[in-house]
Amino acid sequence: MPELPEVERAAKLLRDVAKHNEIVDVETADDTIVYSGTTYEEFAQTVKGRVVENVARYGKVFYMELSGNGKMPVMHFGMTGMLQVKGQLATYYKETPRKASTDWPPRFMKFILHIKHRSTGEITQVAFLDARRLGRIRLCTSPLNEPPISALGFDPILSMPKLDEFKPLVLKRSCPIKALLLDQSFSAGVGNWVADEVLYHSRVHPERRCNTLTEDELVALHIQMQHVCQVAVEANADDTKFPENWLFKHRWGKGKKKEHTLLLPSGEPASIKWITVGGRTSAFVVELQHPNGAASSSRSATSRHGKEKAKSKYWREQENDASLSKEDESEFSSLSDEDGSSKGQDKTVGPVKKRKASSISTIHRSTRRKTEKAIEQVKATPSTRRSKRTSKRGT
């Protein structure tokens, strides 16, 4: 489906051809599905003879602002909608197929605008095509204040909220982040490939729950939603001009024998996998996008041997403390057993290990606090006994 960059390309094409020029004639084809809330006849009568003042986009919807009184055309491509200028190939979503033709009128045409250039008088014909009939053509009095645009969320280029406003919008949801990005009532214009690209550059797994994202991940998402869309729009949705390190360049190889060439920052080959999230196929890089976030990567990188070594270090430091006598050590051991933290069986760290969001630093802090508390108790106990012995001797 054409996404924000592809729809902006279409709006630019129509703007370049039609802005400040008159629609002198309109050809239409009857289609009660594509024409929504209007008819092909009403559409032709409404736009004919009016000057195109501007062509704009919001999300995946684009519309024409026409002179005079009357409604404005509002269009959505659906899955296979596109524009074609007479004498040129149509602007396809990803790549132009070999069977693409410049035959006129084109197949699956819904309307053709005859646009007269204000200076030269030259007529340019622009057609709206839709093979699968999932696109929509509407007439609206105020496009930005009526459905479908009024029901959309923010546009990453036109109306991206500030970070402080963006974060609560994400954190209040519990669905997978990929599903949220695809929700047009949340972010208008973000489709499947844009969402995957944003998540890849943000280092966020598509299945991560929105309410589990960290501060750093939210900041990255906020930045990358704008960055990815802006770069794609500046390239006029021409994927040959996209950066080589973009996932888009390599994400289309599912089920194909041809190997991708995407590299990790380290220079090693990346592992791309595909899963279904929000009903859509999602591509992600295994080494960079972890199911449980950065904490997952940290935990997997820390071996169990490393954890045990870290715990043993604290015990050794306490055993080597000159202030602890053999009697103190014995009592310290008994206190540790009561607290569930003996040297032979570490129960202090047990509960911490069960916490999915914990890391080795969390274990260190928890162990240190319990160790210091136990030592204070041990140090207090011998001094009490010595004072009792002294008092008995005095009596």
Last residue of a domain, one of 151, 183, 202: 151
Q: Is the pLDDT of residue 353 over 60?
A: no
| Same domain membership, residue 186 and residue 266 | yes
Segment 204-253, tens digit of pLDDT: 999 999 999 999 999 999 999 999 999 999 999 999 999 999 999 988 76
Structural domain includes residue 375: yes
Structural domain includes residue 303: no
| Same domain membership, residue 113 and residue 59 | yes
Look up the CATH number of the domain holding residue 229: 1.10.8.50
The predicted structure's pLDDT at residue 206? 98
| Same domain membership, residue 22 and residue 128 | yes
- Give residue 23's pLDDT band: very low, low, confident or very high (50, 70, 90): very high
Q: Is the pLDDT of residue 314 over 50?
A: no
**21 close to 52: Cβ distance less than 8 angstroms:** yes
Structural domain includes residue 158: no
My answer on whether omega of the bond before 105 falls inside 30° of 0, hence cis, is yes
Phi first, then psi, for residue 20 (nearest 5°) are 70, 10
| Same domain membership, residue 244 and residue 220 | yes
Last residue of a domain, one of 151, 174, 194: 151
The predicted structure's pLDDT at residue 395? 41
Lowest mean pLDDT segment, chosen from 68-82, 96-110, 145-159: 96-110
| Same domain membership, residue 223 and residue 199 | yes
- Give residue 100's pLDDT band: very low, low, confident or very high (50, 70, 90): confident
The predicted structure's pLDDT at residue 341? 40
The predicted structure's pLDDT at residue 294? 64
Mean pLDDT of 377-392: 46
Segment 130-140, tens digit of pLDDT: 999 999 999 99
Last residue of a domain, one of 89, 121, 151: 151
Structural domain includes residue 364: yes
- Give residue 255's pLDDT band: very low, low, confident or very high (50, 70, 90): low
Residue 116: burial class (beta carbons within 10 Å; 0-12, 13-18, 19+): middle
- pTM of the predicted structure, to 2 decimals: 0.74
The predicted structure's pLDDT at residue 357? 39
Structural domain includes residue 301: no
| Same domain membership, residue 356 and residue 222 | no
Segment 107-118, tens digit of pLDDT: 999 999 999 999
Structural domain includes residue 138: yes
Average pLDDT taken over every residue of the chain: 82
What domain count does the chain have? 3
Structural domain includes residue 373: yes
| Same domain membership, residue 315 and residue 200 | no
| Same domain membership, residue 316 and residue 258 | no
Structural domain includes residue 59: yes
| Same domain membership, residue 330 and residue 262 | no
Look up the CATH number of the domain holding residue 17: 3.20.190.10
Q: Is the pLDDT of residue 316 over 60?
A: no
| Same domain membership, residue 238 and residue 138 | no
| Same domain membership, residue 284 and residue 167 | yes
- Give residue 380's pLDDT band: very low, low, confident or very high (50, 70, 90): low
| Same domain membership, residue 168 and residue 136 | no
Domain of 174 in residue numbering reads as 163-295
